[in-house]
């Protein structure tokens, strides 16, 4: 069999996972977040399929995930942690210290960035965090290169005893490419933690010395030949040069070929944007009068070149500073830089449909009930698919993981002495509650904050691909784990009012939230757990309930109440909004809309 027959079509995240397995990773941890979620899931799948002896784990949050994996590195094992770029914010505390202390076994931090952004609060560039932490970062341009750079990252980490960041972006994580799987390592290291308190438990005096060592490491890494920039077209010559990294480098290679500039414009691909190689920077500025730098999302390479006259990029606003560098954008930038003209097609802007909760999603019923129970309230919410409660006008704020409770407390303190204090209702998902909600709830109890917290417990981490939560009792590979009792945890935080209800029973759920609102007005924080499994999960497991056949009768007068306040995608306005019908292809027959959603009673069971 020739090698071409052995290639596999891999998603970028699968290629990264395969790279971890093939390079002897023994501990892999993560918290799910798009675009990084499939990395650990793929590691667990390979582990099971190939019989690899390693530990894989969905941790409760990114900070915990990094600390677990880093301890594996301290014990001499190759370890890795993966997350999305805003997850790196959560893990930044241990990251900064780990950079000072270094590592024993190779330690790779995969932080997947989301230029665009497609599914994130920010477009932040993880390479900036690597610069702040003073660790090297590698920037793959494709799934194939992402797998190769995993090996380079482990080698770099062990050569210089430093954590190394691998920074794929959405277009690398979720694109697919033929990738050659390699062999598994014949042997792997055994754990051997060598005690050294002056390093692993360093006090401030020793941290100063460790900082000196970090700076010395960075200087040597900036001379490390294995990760030096590559001249992709050595036959090209001239006084202009193109420098690119990440997926922008892949687009640039295609653009140079399409513009017939491959032999005319020297093109350097930077695989290690920080620290930028010293000799490369010196030679680039010595050999070229005009340099175009293409990178996402911040001008990291450009900053280190530090020549505003000759270097053109984001800092002098020649390259867009916001959003993705799309292929047509890259082509236009290169053509303009080279003095060429290019006709790019004007792609029609197709109107999209705003994202909405799935038909039958239990969160829709929860939000409807919250508005009924506290119609003039302030609604703080959190990060998850339930953020789409925005469409139902039941979400007023979304900041970051766990902030629903903290912001609810902030609003309470702001209105505490006002003549009329609004009801405050916070919503948070089950996985997000475990991730970052518990400390905020303890604080709210301690301050006796008058809020209602509705924990939207659909028994999974739905938004990122239905990963398990601590309450699920399942591990990354499907293994059985100890279940965490959410009710006991809430009670342990000191909460006196706690009710668990099924939001599908809308009448009962509305009554329960009203009861919680009244308690919060008079006594203190109240918690309602809205528990109903995710309908997508139920369908996947073959456990979906028998659908209830539903129709809209002629009593419908097109008032629009169902669309404005319930917003189920299966309820479709027709005849220019004069009436509503049920879309049988979308409706899953949950039956929630039968419970007094229509003020005219036009939604009926067939």
pLDDT tens, 106-150? Answer: 999 999 999 989 888 899 999 999 999 999 999 999 999 999 999
* Both structure tokens of 160: 């210089």
Q: Which class for 63: exposed (0-12), middle (13-18), buried (19 or more C-beta within 10 A)?
A: buried
Residue whose structure tokens are 């008079």: 522
pLDDT at 70: 98
Contact assessment for residue 152 and residue 98, using Cβ atoms and an 8 Å cutoff: no
pLDDT at 463: 86
Cβ neighbours, 10 Å, residue 100: 20
Angle at the Cα of 396 (from 390 to 400), degrees rounded to 5? 90
Contact assessment for residue 173 and residue 307, using Cβ atoms and an 8 Å cutoff: no
Rounded Cα distance between 294 and 246, Å, is 9
Cis peptide before 115 (omega within 30 of 0): no
pLDDT at 3: 45
Beta strand 311-312 pairing with 290-294: parallel
pLDDT at 96: 97
Outline where 416-568 has alpha helix (H): 430-432, 438-446, 486-492, 506-522, 535-540, 561-565
pLDDT at 5: 62
The DSSP 8-state label assigned to residue 28 in this structure reads E
Counting as low any pLDDT under 50, the low residues of the chain are 1-4
Q: What's the count of helices (H) and strands (E) in the chain, helices before strands?
A: 22, 23
pLDDT at 308: 81
Rounded Cα distance between 127 and 228, Å, is 17
Instruction: Tell me the DSSP string of 158-202.
Output: HHHT--EEE--BHHHHS-EEEE---PPPS--PPP-----HHHHT-
H or E element that contains 528: strand 526-531
Categorise residue 134: left if φ over 0, alpha if ψ from -120 to 50, beta otherwise: left
pLDDT at 354: 81
pLDDT at 119: 86
How close are the terminal C-alpha atoms of the chain, in Å? Answer: 60
From 599, 527, 528, 522, select the one nearest 564 (Cα to Cα). Answer: 599
Contact assessment for residue 387 and residue 395, using Cβ atoms and an 8 Å cutoff: yes
Rounded Cα distance between 362 and 365, Å, is 5
Outline where 313-381 has alpha helix (H): 327-338, 362-373
This prediction's pTM: 0.93
């Amino acid at each position: 069999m020739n090698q071409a027959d052995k290639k596999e079509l891999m998603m970028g995240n699968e290629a990264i996972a395969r790279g971890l397995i093939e390079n002897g990773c023994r501990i892999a941890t993560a918290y799910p977040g798009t675009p990084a979620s499939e990395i650990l899931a793929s590691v667990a799948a390979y582990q099971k399929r190939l019989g690899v002896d390693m530990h894989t784990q969905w941790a409760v949050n990114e900070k915990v995930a990094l600390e677990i994996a880093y301890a594996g590195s301290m014990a001499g094992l190759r370890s890795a942690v993966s997350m999305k770029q805003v997850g790196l914010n959560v893990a930044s505390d241990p990251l900064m210290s780990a950079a000072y202390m270094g590592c024993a076994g190779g330690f790779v931090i995969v932080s997947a960035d989301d230029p665009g952004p497609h599914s994130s609060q920010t477009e932040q560039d993880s390479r900036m965090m690597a610069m702040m932490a003073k660790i090297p970062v590698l920037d793959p341009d494709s799934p194939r290169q992402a797998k190769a750079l995993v090996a380079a990252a482990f080698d770099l980490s062990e050569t210089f005893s430093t954590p190394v960041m691998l920074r794929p972006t959405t277009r690398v994580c979720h694109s697919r490419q033929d990738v050659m799987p390699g062999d598994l390592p014949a042997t792997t290291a055994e754990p051997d933690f060598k005690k050294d308190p002056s390093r692993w438990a360093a006090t401030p005096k020793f941290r100063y010395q460790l900082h000196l060592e970090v700076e010395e490491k960075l200087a040597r890494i900036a001379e490390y030949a294995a990760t030096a920039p590559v001249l992709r077209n050595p036959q090209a010559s001239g006084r202009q040069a193109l420098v690119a990294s990440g997926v922008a480098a892949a687009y640039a290679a295609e653009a140079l070929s399409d513009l017939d500039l491959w032999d005319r414009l020297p093109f350097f691909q930077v695989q290690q944007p920080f620290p930028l190689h010293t000799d490369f920077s010196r030679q680039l500025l010595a050999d070229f009068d005009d340099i175009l730098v293409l990178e996402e999302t911040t001008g990291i390479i450009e900053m280190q070149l530090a020549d505003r006259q000759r270097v053109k990029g984001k800092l002098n606003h020649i390259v867009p500073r916001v959003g993705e560098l799309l292929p047509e954008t890259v082509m236009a930038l290169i053509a303009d830089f080279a003095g060429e003209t290019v006709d790019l097609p004007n792609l029609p802007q197709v109107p999209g449909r705003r994202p909405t909760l799935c038909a039958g999603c239990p969160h829709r019923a929860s939000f409807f009930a919250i508005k009924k129970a506290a119609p003039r309230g302030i609604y703080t919410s959190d990060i998850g698919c339930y953020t789409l409660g925005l469409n139902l006008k039941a979400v007023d704020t979304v900041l970051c993981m766990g902030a629903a409770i903290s912001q609810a407390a902030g609003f309470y303190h702001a209105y505490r002495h006002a003549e009329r204090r609004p009801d405050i209702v916070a919503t948070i998902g089950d996985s997000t509650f475990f991730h970052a909600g518990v400390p905020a709830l303890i604080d709210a109890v301690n301050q006796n904050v008058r809020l209602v917290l509705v924990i939207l417990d659909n028994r999974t981490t739905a938004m990122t691909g239905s990963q398990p939560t601590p309450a699920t009792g399942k591990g990354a590979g499907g293994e059985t784990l100890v279940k965490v009792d959410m009710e006991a945890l809430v009670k342990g935080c000191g909460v006196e009012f706690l009710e668990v209800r099924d939001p599908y029973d809308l009448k009962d759920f509305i009554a329960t939230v009203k009861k919680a609102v009244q308690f919060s007005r008079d006594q203190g924080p109240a918690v309602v757990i809205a528990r109903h499994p995710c309908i997508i999960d139920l369908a996947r497991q073959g456990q979906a309930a028998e659908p209830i056949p539903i129709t809209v009768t002629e009593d419908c007068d097109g008032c629009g109440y169902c669309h404005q306040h319930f917003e189920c995608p299966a309820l479709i306005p027709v005849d220019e909004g004069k009436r509503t019908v049920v879309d049988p292809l979308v409706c899953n027959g949950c039956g929630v809309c039968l419970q007094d959603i229509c003020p005219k009673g036009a939604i009926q069971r067939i």
